[in-house]
């Protein structure tokens, strides 16, 4: 009697965290599983028939991938590469992969099986954990300082008002007005540093609704000087989130993009400033050390000059700014809100293409904190 349990192998392969590629004897792609689609950011439909070397070979890698694959085809000898470089969307990523011959029942149609494990994911997790820790320490420090500054401000304001009333000379009144308006400015800044005082209220939210709101706010602000393109996947599931806080996150990022474009007009001699709002489902994404099968991804992309290189690593830290008038709080607040939603923000930036991606888990077992 056959005791093998009935397993849907297709489902199994598609749920593996290992990326799997099948390649025919002409070295064209025959099949890739979901993890592989996510790894190379390509769909099976687009990839099938494509030369595998397009995916598996990075210009910066000196290894002769083509020869090695052909050798496996001829000799059936498997091989493993550690820390190989592959190039995805112009970005080098590092993978370990094993190549072997699939002994198919049809000997004249051999298939090469390639199993890939990205090692960046591991590297990224530890880097992220470090970042989160440093970020929390910095935020606590800032909150402490902000509190200390806020307390005496009320006293200074009150005393100045009293002083203003007892002064008859209008010339002096001008000075007290200056003190009061500067105190108010400081108070506003300190309030931003302390963050929102409202407790978040989480509800099932369609992220397109806050996104559309942000779009219209930006259109109003920029008076149509910037082209705004929408690229929405309307079939996205709802997420459990605080709508107003999401608006703040998207607005902080959107305003940065607008500022980067409007304040660097010389960058746009032969093209128009453009903001792209994109929504997608992202498979297999690690958020705060948890591997999620899928998450909702919102990209806010601009074609401005990019985040200055010297601050790219620390761009989410409080008080890091590349702008003369910036306070460097926008992104730190946004990242904080996303963490409270069990989500995260990632940034990729080169001149001409800056993408801030927001990730939000949506599956019901990820209930927001």
Ligand X SMILES: Nc1ncnc2c1ncn2[C@@H]1O[C@H](COP(=O)(O)OP(=O)(O)OP(=O)(O)O)[C@@H](O)[C@H]1O
Which positions lie near Mg ion, rule CB under 5 A? 256, 330
Helices (H), ranges, 167-207: 170-194
Distance between terminal CA atoms of the chain? Answer: 50
Interface mask (CB under 6 A) for ligand X, residues 252-291, using x and -?
x---xx--x-------------------------------
Q: How many residues bind ligand X (CB under 6 A)?
A: 22
Instruction: Name which position in 103, 130, 327, 352 contacts ligand X (CB under 6 A).
Output: 327
Q: What share of the chain is helix, strand, coil (3-state, %, to 5)?
A: 45, 25, 30
- Interface with ligand X includes 352 (CB under 6 A)? no
Smallest distance, ligand X to C-beta of residue 252, A: 6
How many helical (H) and strand (E) elements, i.e. helices and strands, does the chain have? 10, 12
Residue 328 interacting partner from ligand X, Mg ion, none (CB closer than 5 to 8 Å by kind) = ligand X
* Residue 49 touches which member of Mg ion, ligand X, none, C-beta under 5-8 Å by kind: none
Please name the residues in contact with 228: beta carbons below 8 A apart, sequence gap of 6 or more: 215, 218, 219, 274, 275, 276, 277
Distance (Å, whole) CA 114 – CA 29: 11
335 binds ligand X (CB under 6 A): no
In the window 7-66, what residues touch ligand X (CB under 6 A)? none
Minimum CB distance to ligand X, residue 91 (Å):
18
* Residue 107: burial class (beta carbons within 10 Å; 0-12, 13-18, 19+): exposed
Are residues 101 and 110 in contact, defined by beta-carbon separation less than 8 angstroms? Answer: yes
Binding part of the chain for ligand X, among 110-118, 130-138, 241-249, 325-333 by CB under 6 A, reads 325-333
CA distance 368 to 175: 49
* 117 vs 321, beta carbon nearer Mg ion: 321
Least distance in angstroms from the C-beta of 253 to Mg ion: 8
| Cβ atoms 302, 348 nearer than 8 A | no
Q: At what angle do helices 330-340 and 243-262 cross, to 10 degrees?
A: 150
Residues between 300 and 319 that touch ligand X (CB under 6 A): 302, 304, 306-308, 315
Binding residue for ligand X (CB under 6 A) from 84, 329, 338, 344?
A: 329
Q: What is the C-alpha to C-alpha distance for residues 88 and 179, in angstroms, rounded to an integer?
A: 55
Cβ closest to Mg ion, residue 330 vs residue 361: 330
Q: Which residues touch 237 (CB under 8 Å, ≥6 apart)?
A: 296, 362
Nearer CB in complex with ligand X: 98/264: 264
Q: Which position's Cβ is nearest Mg ion?
A: 330
Exactly one of 28, 288, 321, 340 binds ligand X (CB under 6 A); that residue is 321
95, 331, 337, 358: which one binds ligand X (CB under 6 A): 331
Residue nearer to ligand X on the CB measure, 176 or 264: 264
Residue number, nearest CB to ligand X: 326
| CA dihedral over 130, 341, 259, 191, signed as positive or negative | negative
How are beta strands 274-287 and 227-231 bridged, if at all?
parallel
Does 354 sit near ligand X (CB under 6 A)?
yes
CB of 307 to ligand X, least distance (A): 4
Which residue in the set 262, 274, 328, 368 belongs to the binding site for ligand X (CB under 6 A)?
Answer: 328
Interface ranges with ligand X (CB under 6 A): 252, 256-257, 260, 302, 304, 306-308, 315, 320-323, 326-332, 354
């Amino acid at each position: 009697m056959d005791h093998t349990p009935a397993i849907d192998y297709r489902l199994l392969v598609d749920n593996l965290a290992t990326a799997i590629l099948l390649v025919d004897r002409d070295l064209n792609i025959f099949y890739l599983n979901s993890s592989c689609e996510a790894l190379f950011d390509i769909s099976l439909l687009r990839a099938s028939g494509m030369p595998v070397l397009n995916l598996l070979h990075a210009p910066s890698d000196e290894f002769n991938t083509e020869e090695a694959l052909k050798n496996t085809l001829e000799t059936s000898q498997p091989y493993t590469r550690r820390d190989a470089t592959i190039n995805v969307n112009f970005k080098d990523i590092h993978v370990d992969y094993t190549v072997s011959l699939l002994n198919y029942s049809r000997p004249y149609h051999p298939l090469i099986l390639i199993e890939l494990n990205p090692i960046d994911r591991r590297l990224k997790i530890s880097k992220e954990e470090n970042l989160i820790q440093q970020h929390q320490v910095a935020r606590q420090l800032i909150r402490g300082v902000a509190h200390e500054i806020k307390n005496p401000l009320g006293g200074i304001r009150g005393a100045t008002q009293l002083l203003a009333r007892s002064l008859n000379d209008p010339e002096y009144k001008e000075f007290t007005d200056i003190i009061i308006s500067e105190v108010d400015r400081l108070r506003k800044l300190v309030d931003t540093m302390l963050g929102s005082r409202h407790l978040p209220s989480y509800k099932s939210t369609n992220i397109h609704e806050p996104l559309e709101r942000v779009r219209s706010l930006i259109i109003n602000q920029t008076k149509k000087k910037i082209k705004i393109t929408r690229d929405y996947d309307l079939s996205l599931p709802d997420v459990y989130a605080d709508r107003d806080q999401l608006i703040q996150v998207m607005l902080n990022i959107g305003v940065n993009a607008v500022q980067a474009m409007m304040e660097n007009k010389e960058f746009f001699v032969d093209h128009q400033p453009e903001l792209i709002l994109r929504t997608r489902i992202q498979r297999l994404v690690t958020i705060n050390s948890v591997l999620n099968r899928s998450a909702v991804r919102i990209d806010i992309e601009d074609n401005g000059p990019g985040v200055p290189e010297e601050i790219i690593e620390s761009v989410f830290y409080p008080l890091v700014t590349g702008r003369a008038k910036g306070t460097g709080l926008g992104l730190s607040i946004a990242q904080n809100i996303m963490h409270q939603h069990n989500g995260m923000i990632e940034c990729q930036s080169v001149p001409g293409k800056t993408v801030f991606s927001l990730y939000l888990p949506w599956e019901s077992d990820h209930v927001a904190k």
